[in-house]
Amino acid sequence: MPSYDYSVTFACYNQIAYTRLCIDSLLQSGIDLGRVVAVDNGSTDGTVDYLHSLPLGGVICNKRNLGCGVAWNQGALLQQAEWTIVMNNDIICSKGWLEGLIDSAQENRIKIASPSMIEGDFDYDFESFTHDAAGRLKDAARAGLPHAVCMAIHESVWMDVGYFMSIPKLFGYEDGIFFSHARRAGIRMGTVGSSWIHHFGSVTQKAMALEKKISSGLGDHGLYKSVLGETWLCRKMSKFAAKRNREKVRQSELAAHGISMYGIRKNGVFDWR
């Protein structure tokens, strides 16, 4: 692996089986575990003991479930680097994912870059598929459309917009607020086709939100104006514009490559979104 100044961090809340799969995939992809920081939000299923058995760069153990925003900030600050990869613990990383992610971010001058992704059933030849897909889409990027399942964040972003908002009510919405602030600051973001992961479905985030009995959105907490600086109507219009843009990009990717940067695997087939 080329020499990058990088750090990887993720939050845990139980779900030890997924964390093991994630760590195994990091090792198989050549990641130095000394550059990985895990933040546990009060697990009770053996996750803490498992994390301490690994040669990680850091393990932070919170006494209670503090949510994603707090955990991501703790991990990013403990091991600071030029590129901080903030990711879920319920993903499988392909070989070459980090190189493809950072190289493409640098080539496209993107400061917040996400890998392409398959969600759903893990019933396909992952390495063969991702090798082929990364080759087909190696020069492609979805400008302005990152996702928080996994994202490489350049150190300059922290200086320009700060870190993740850590309000307990924001379980699951910290990423949208972060992207909104970055967008208004004119920071280039996107998803790249040269890097691929598989995502099982935000199991940890859902578990953390369930533990706090939080299931509603920003609107129900009256936070659109105070947090995003937008009215409910402006937010709806922005989401509609983004959805329309994603569909346009999807059609372009399918026409050019036969696949898109985001797919759902179900009943043995890919549904390209």
How far is the CA of 144 from the CAs of 40, 106, 109, 112, 243, in angstroms?
Answer: 31, 15, 12, 9, 12
Rounded to the nearest 10 degrees, the angle between the axes of helix 203-211 and helix 67-78 is 120
Whole-model pTM: value is 0.90
How far is the CA of 21 from the CAs of 65, 71, 200, 236, in angstroms?
Answer: 22, 20, 11, 37
Q: State residue 57's pLDDT score.
A: 98
Report the CATH fold assignment for 6-272: Spore Coat Polysaccharide Biosynthesis Protein SpsA; Chain A (3.90.550)
* CA 164/CA 38 separation, integer angstroms: 17
Beta bridge partners of 179: none
Q: State residue 219's pLDDT score.
A: 47
Asked if 116 contacts 196 with a C-beta cutoff of 8 angstroms, the reply is yes
26: CB partners within 8 A, 6+ apart: 8, 33, 36, 93
Q: State residue 222's pLDDT score.
A: 56
- Closest among 31, 29, 51, 34 to 42, alpha carbons compared: 51
The DSSP code sequence of the chain is: -----EEEEEEESS-HHHHHHHHHHHHHTT--GGGEEEEESS--SSHHHHHHTS--SEEEE-SS--HHHHHHHHHHHHS--SEEEEE-SSEEEPTTHHHHHHHHHHHTT-SEEEEEEEEE---S-HHHHHHHHHHHTTT-EEET---SSEEEEEHHHHHHH-S----GGGTTTHHHHHHHHHHHTT--EEEEEEEEEEE---HHHHHHHHHTT----GGGGT-IIIIIS--HHHHHHHHHHHHHHHHHHHHHHHHHHSS-SEEEEETTEEEE-
Query: Per-domain residue ranges for the chain?
Result: 6-272
Asked if 67 contacts 174 with a C-beta cutoff of 8 angstroms, the reply is yes
What type of residue is 112? I
44: CB partners within 8 A, 6+ apart: 14
pLDDT by 10s per residue, the chain, length 273: 568 999 999 999 999 999 999 999 999 999 999 999 999 999 999 999 999 999 999 999 999 988 889 999 999 999 999 999 999 999 999 999 999 999 999 999 999 999 999 999 999 999 999 999 999 999 999 999 999 999 999 999 999 999 998 876 666 678 988 998 999 999 999 999 999 999 997 655 555 555 555 555 554 445 555 566 666 677 677 778 888 888 999 999 999 999 999 999 999 999 999
**42 dihedral zone (left: phi>0; alpha: psi -120 to 50; beta):** left
Which residue in the block uniquely carries the two structure tokens 């994912």? Answer: 97
Q: Write phi, then psi, for 218 (nearest 5 degrees).
A: -60, -40
